[in-house]
Amino acid sequence: MEKRVFFRNRWLPYALLAPQILITLVFFIWPAFQALRQSLYLEDPFGLASEFVGLENFQALFDDSRYLESMRITAVFSVSVTLLALCSALYLAVQADRVMRAALVYRTLLIWPYAVAPAVAGVIWLLLFNPTLGILAHGLQRLGVEWNPAVNGNQAMLMVVIAAAWKQVSYNFLFFLAGLQAIPRSLIEAAAIDGAGFARRFWTIVFPLLTPTTFFLVVVNIVYAFFDTFGIIHAVTSGGPAGATNTLVYKVFNDGFIGLDLGYSAAQSVILMAIVISLTVVQFRYIERKVHY
């Protein structure tokens, strides 16, 4: 039998919802609407002259083969960042969960990177990978790798993926650890008594029970990779070399805030918004079915 709550006053529920709705309207719906409007105009930076151009900004985008290339780059970037950040966080969480002594120290240390600002994270990795100064670059060169991310696009991509994922690992780690600790000991102990080894216990009991957490983190990480990474890319590669790390969100930032071409930038953010909305819908409709709560 489903439990339902009824309000006696017709207006009370609306009044209770109002603050939330107001915040959503002011901070989400209104700017989104502004972006939509702006994307239909061609305007000078100062806003002195503005011309309605219909869908011309969008047409210009889709005529540009580099924009489609940027979509491919974004897909590669987002999937790599999400996979790397989730896998390493899960590994660390499982290990931290098993540690008996000084567990708190490990946990605290693993959470630290989350407090680092994206641009700073970018600079740290940039220095580590700098062909002249970087300690990691020297190691790679000693191994015979011709390391120069200023010219080699794949190397530049690798660098931004690592920097972006590194920053997200802590966040994922926290959630995985909480998820792991919520799994009843009795289940695992029962499996152990039945003779299941660690790997078997992990894949048949722990991982399935973690799926709600994993699913939530996949959504959050993809949104992170799509939207929150331009600071890192800006600090590390500026989208280069030759556009190899020019993701959609970096292009929005670059054309809008650096190039001051607001209409073009707004059109891109509208497309980006559509992509992320549809991705999230797909995730909730199809992938969520496989989640056990």
Partner 1 sequence: MRVSLSVALLIPFSTSVLAATEVQWWHAMGGALGERVADIASGYNDSQDQCTVTPTYKGNYTENMTAGIAAFRSGEPPHILQVFEVGTATMMAAEGAIKPVHELMASFGENFDPDAYLAAVKGYYTTPEGQMLSLPFNSSTPILYYNKEAFEKAGLDPEQPPATWPAVAEASAQLREAGYECGFTTAWQSWVQLENFSAWHNVPIGTRANGFEGLDTEFLLNSDLHKTHIGKLAEWTQDKTFVYGGRRGDAQALFTSGECPMYMHSSAGYAGIRETAGFEFGTGMLPYWPEVEGAPQNSIIGGATLWVFEGHEDAEYQCVADFFNYLSSAEVQAEWHQGTGYLPITTAAYELTKEQGFYEANPGTETALLQMTLNPPTENSRGLRFGNFVQIRDVINEELEAVWGGGKSAEEALDAIVERGNELLRRFERTAG
Query: What token pair was written down for 115?
Result: 């407090």
Assess contact for 169 and 92: CB atoms under 8 A.
yes
CA 114 – CA 200 distance, rounded (Å) = 32
Task: Name, in order, each residue with C-beta under 8 angstroms of 163's C-beta and a sequence gap of 6 or more.
Answer: 121, 122, 124, 125, 126, 232, 236
Question: Could you tell me the smallest distance in angstroms from the CB atom of residue 256 to partner 1?
Answer: 9
Q: Which is nearer to partner 1, 212 or 240 (CB)?
A: 240
Give the interface segment with partner 1, choosing from 3-11, 16-24, 167-175, 234-242 (CB under 8 A).
Answer: 234-242
40 binds partner 1 (CB under 8 A): no
How does DSSP classify residue 116? S
113 binds partner 1 (CB under 8 A): no
46 binds partner 1 (CB under 8 A): yes
Assess contact for 262 and 46: CB atoms under 8 A.
no
Rounded to 5 degrees, φ, ψ at 50 are -140, 135
Question: Could you tell me the smallest distance in angstroms from the CB atom of residue 152 to partner 1?
Answer: 6
Residues 49-68 close enough to bind partner 1 by CB under 8 A:
49, 51
Residue 131: how many CB atoms within 10 A of its CB?
16
- Which of 9, 20, 132, 186 lies at the binding interface for partner 1 (CB under 8 A)? 132
Cis peptide leading into 208, omega within 30 of 0? no
**Alpha-carbon 36 to chain mean position:** 23
160 binds partner 1 (CB under 8 A): no
Q: Which is nearer to partner 1, 167 or 261 (CB)?
A: 261
Query: What token pair was written down for 123?
Result: 């600079």
Residues 252-291 close enough to bind partner 1 by CB under 8 A:
254-255, 257-261
- Which of 116, 174, 240, 288 lies at the binding interface for partner 1 (CB under 8 A)? 240
13 binds partner 1 (CB under 8 A): no
Given the rule CB under 8 A, which residues bind partner 1?
42-49, 51, 130-133, 148, 150-153, 238-243, 254-255, 257-261
